[in-house]
Homo-oligomer: A and B are copies of this chain.
Amino acid sequence: MTYTPHGKHLIGGEWTAADITFSSAPASGTPHEFSEASEELIDEAVKAAEAAFWSYGYSSRKERAAFLERIADEIEARADDITAIGTAETGLPAGRLQGERGRTTGQLRMFAQHILKGAYLDRRHDVAIPDKTPPRPDLRMIERPIGPVAVFGASNFPLAFSTAGGDTASALAAGCPVVVKGHPAHPGTAEIVAEAILAAIEACGVHPGVFSLVQGASYEAGGALVTHPLIKAVGFTGSLKGGKALFDLCAARDEPIPFFGELGSVNPNFLLPEALGHRGKDIAKGWAASLTMGVGQFCTNPGIMVTLAGPEADGFAKAAAEALGEVGPAVMLTEGIARAYRGGAEAVAGAKGVETLVKGKCEAREGAPALYRTTGKVFLDNPDLAHEVFGPLGIIVMAADAQEMRAVAERLEGQLTCTLHMERDDTEFARTLLPVLERKAGRLLANGFATGVEVSDAMVHSGPYPASTNFGATSVGTLAIRRFLRPVCYQNIPEALLPEDIQHIA
């Protein structure tokens, strides 16, 4: 590893440290000391963001696009160092860090292109009708940036959902300065990415308050950030418990603000009879691969497979168990996550009416695949089985019949994704399930697994609570920019005073 973290916060263009520190806990290599953000430092960072808004919030889309592109370039210029420190801190393999870096720079460039097109501004013009009763004034509408945004780094995506990830990229694209609270599981990765953003700020001559990184391992730092009066919205990817606590703080502010939290999901799969009969074993293998990818540490991890009980389902379970049995233990993102995973697996294993099919041995910071089977009835009677266990854990739910399968679907909480495995002859069966699943999830899939989340125009990474705290928004894809915009109407405002983007419209 050639990059050695200095352990400071980036605040308004300066690297700053406070007295209290915390230690990083890398999966490999040396721990480093990082300064823990005080309330004063967070206040400085947010005030710098507010100061930056008066220029950055009025910058041209071309300027912001160039800035986003430059951030992508600066990240690429630090590629090997980012991979080195990222793999050391998270225990994820180098290929994953490289892929995630491509996703991160791709996202930044996608938003650069997206704002240049301008459709996201949703510009509207109602021309004056002076002889109407009452007369209609000239009305122009445009989506404007909302002000400083707080973003929380995610434990499981050190790049794509962290310092320069989708929340930051979409907020910066909208014209909003960002204060990132780095995740303590990968503070060095956060720091080097912040170095890249600082280099882009300097190269593009952007106000340095446009981006700050504050580090911290305490809950207090996050609370101080989201309750700061100048913060206007929050982007968060993480656990239900942590996210709900921050959501509550946002709602209880003197001025409540939106909390865009993506909080997790069990991403149920429904394996329909014809698909089970024709491709059951292949689907079992694909499921095992998806379930164990990244040690199951994806919000789109397919934790539940619902199918119809019978010999074919037994064969499916056997094939899935075989495939999972071949996957050994692997290091997880943090010791806390590994501990929570093992605790969650034990709770499932101990639940009444649940049979353990696979239970790999693992210790310390490791997670090994686990597979369970139960009946539709048991699943319906025990709501705990429908809660996410973050890691490579699968439950096969054997429904007695189609009606019970539908009952399982109806009982689901909000999900990021729901998946159907189906053949053409399953269409009528699928037709009874799809309307139910559509109300449960932001994304519906057929014959695939949800763990690959395409970054594109049509992607939705969201869903009813608890999958997300705002079912109307998405944290992935170009629509993510809408979270950081608000419509403003200009009535008879002289053209010279209008924002440039709304001056010349039809």
Report the separation of the CA atoms of residues A54 and B436 in the bound assembly, to the nearest whole angstrom: 9
Judging by beta carbons under 8 Å apart, are A141 and B489 in contact? no
What is the CA–CA distance of A58 and B140 in the complex, to the nearest angstrom? 33
Q: Which B-chain residue is minimally distant from A53 (CB atoms)?
A: B439
CA distance A446 to B497 in the complex (A): 10
Question: Contacting chain B: which of A10-18, A317-325, A344-352, A458-466?
Answer: A458-466
Q: Which of A40-48, A75-83, A467-475 contacts B (4 or more CB under 8 A)?
A: A467-475
B residues within 8 A CB of A434? 493, 497
**How far, in angstroms, from A122 to B414 measured CA to CA in the complex?**
22
Q: A471-B486, A482-B472 are in contact. Are A457 and B141 (CB under 8 A)?
A: yes
Q: Which of A165-173, A181-189, A209-217, A247-255 is the contact stretch?
A: A247-255
CA distance A487 to B458 in the complex (A): 9
A472-B486 contact, Cβ under 8 Å, with A255-B464, A439-B147 = yes
| Min distance, Cβ A449 to any Cβ of chain B, angstroms | 10
B492 touches A456 (CB 8 A): no
Assembly CA distance A490 to B469 (angstroms): 21
A134 at the interface (CB under 8 A from B): yes
Residues of B within 8 A of A258 (CB): 470, 472
Q: Interface 1/0s, chain A 477-494, versus B by CB < 8 A? A: 001001101111111111
Query: Are the C-beta atoms of A442 and B144 separated by less than 8 Å?
Result: no
A397 to chain B, nearest CB (A): 22
Contacting pair A427 B497 (CB below 8 A): yes
Contact A497 B431, beta carbon cutoff 8 Å: yes
- Top 4 A-B pairs, shortest CB-CB distance: A460-B489, A251-B251, A141-B458, A139-B458
11 residue pairs from A and B, CB less than 8 Å apart: A122-B479, A124-B479, A139-B456, A144-B438, A430-B497, A434-B493, A443-B491, A448-B491, A458-B489, A460-B489, A479-B487
A: residues with CB less than 8 A from B are 54, 58, 122, 124-126, 134, 136-137, 139-141, 144, 146-147, 247-248, 251-252, 255-258, 413-414, 420, 422, 424, 427, 430-431, 434-435, 438-439, 441-448, 452, 454, 456-460, 462, 464-466, 469-472, 474, 479, 482-483, 485-494, 496-497
